[in-house]
A and B are shown apart, each in its own frame.
Chain A
Amino acid sequence: MEPLVVLDNVNKHFGELHVLKEISTTVGRGEVVVVIGPSGSGKSTLCRAINRLETIDNGTITIDGKQLPSEGAELAKLRADVGMVFQSFNLFAHKTVLENVTLGPIKVRRKSRQEAEKRAMELLERVGVANQAKKMPAQLSGGQQQRVAIARALAMDPKLMLFDEPTSALDPEMINEVLDVITGLAKDGMTMIVVTHEMGFARKVADRLLFMADGRIVEDATPTDFFDHPASDRAKDFLSKILTH
């Protein structure tokens, strides 16, 4: 498989705390990688480092053959190609749903407003919230907001989508509507890295599963292998805890 994201020996500290320890992995084009692990194991930090919302101490992160630039216009350009969906949605509070989706295409991709709006409506249709286009984010349910956030990221035609616990802030009855959208993207061949606690979803969509603990990738396996034959004690322990309730 052609590599799209390559992490090589990445380290990251927060002060004394060593949160990413010698992380090396490759995500191929079209691959869906799900990251799981206990709280504080560094999953969010990993996701954010790939988009350089977090700096790294050493090692390299390469996306589509280009190493992450440190700052400035080059970095902005690279970020435009990487979609990010946050646990807390982070829709622009002062803009309508439609404006949330068109801002990037207009300002970054230099599309005309008309063109950007046409594409935005298609994407809002696809995630099932086209009828909310004129509303403000605060008027939408959490599930609807998260689907808008996905449309906002897709509007940039990203090469890669990062999801950091996209359903953790949602009421249970809204989780599936968001997971369904993500599953649809996976079927369409989008390259994705998804941090999640939804094990059923992980088993269903993941091509590969990374299990993180204490800042390390402890297991790198297919979902079937991981869930049926976890190799490490850490993974067995983790699975026993989440599968008992």
Chain B
Amino acid sequence: MEVILDNLPLYLRGFGMTLYLLGLTVLFALPLGALVAALRISPVPSLRVVAAVYTEWLRNTPLTLVFFFIAFVLPRIGARLDYEIGAVVALTLYTAPFFAEAIRSGVNAVPVGQAEAARSIGLTFGQTLGNVILPQALRGVVPPLINVTIALTKNTSVATGFFVFTLVSTGQRLANQNGDQVIPILLGVAFFYLVITIPLGQFADRLEERVVVNR
């Protein structure tokens, strides 16, 4: 316990970086995911293919490989990124397809009759999406989006291997310095992850309950 309190600044440094990666990645990956989802349900076949290939490719590639690509391959071809920005780019590219799939499944869960009724009273494609489809899709979409965000929180730890000081770096450094107290040190690391993930999970559960009640 003491080792945690004594090194609180180091924990907070790792925690801050983890939050930073999480926040920026959500900020970029969510709109990118929405765009990919829109492409996947668009009437244009070539756009659907592009979105599908991107989604399936990234979803089936280990995150570490994506990091390797950003950290070592991009500089070779002349694109030098700051390590933290590189981590955000890797996490964004990797997470966006998961967001996209969550959004797409929510949209698909809305019966087609809803869109047909909307179009038949003269709403445009945009109005139909905005007034009828998305409001109904959203209720079902937020819980899976949160689950992706929880997975992302844990995935930020991969940046540790690529010179970014995350919560796991805190744990590594402290464990090296205090070999006899590894267990409390790691429990401390876990605690800070839980500070992020448990409230997110509870929020998702609460929304899920509300959706059930509303139906």
Contacts and interface: CB of A to CB of B under 8 A. Distances in A.
A236 B156 CA distance: 72
A43 interface: no
B119 A153 contact: no
Given A90-B113, A94-B135, A53 B119 contact: yes
Contact of A51 (B120, B127, B131, B215): B120
A86 interface: yes
Interface in A79-107: 79-84, 86, 88, 90-94, 103-104, 107
Given A103-B131, A107-B131, A91 B123 contact: no
Contacts of B136: 93-94
Contacts of A86: 113, 116-117
Given A93-B136, A107-B131, A53 B113 contact: no
A79 B119 contact: yes
A208 interface: no
Contacts, number: 66
B114 interface: yes
The SS class assigned to the B binding surface is: helix
B212 interface: no
Contacts of A149: 117
Given A103-B131, A107-B131, A80 B122 contact: yes
A79 B116 contact: no
Given A93-B136, A94-B135, A76 B113 contact: no
Contacts of B111: 90
B117 A92 contact: yes
Contacts of B117: 84, 86, 90-92, 149, 152
Given A93-B136, A94-B135, A104 B114 contact: no
B121 A93 contact: no
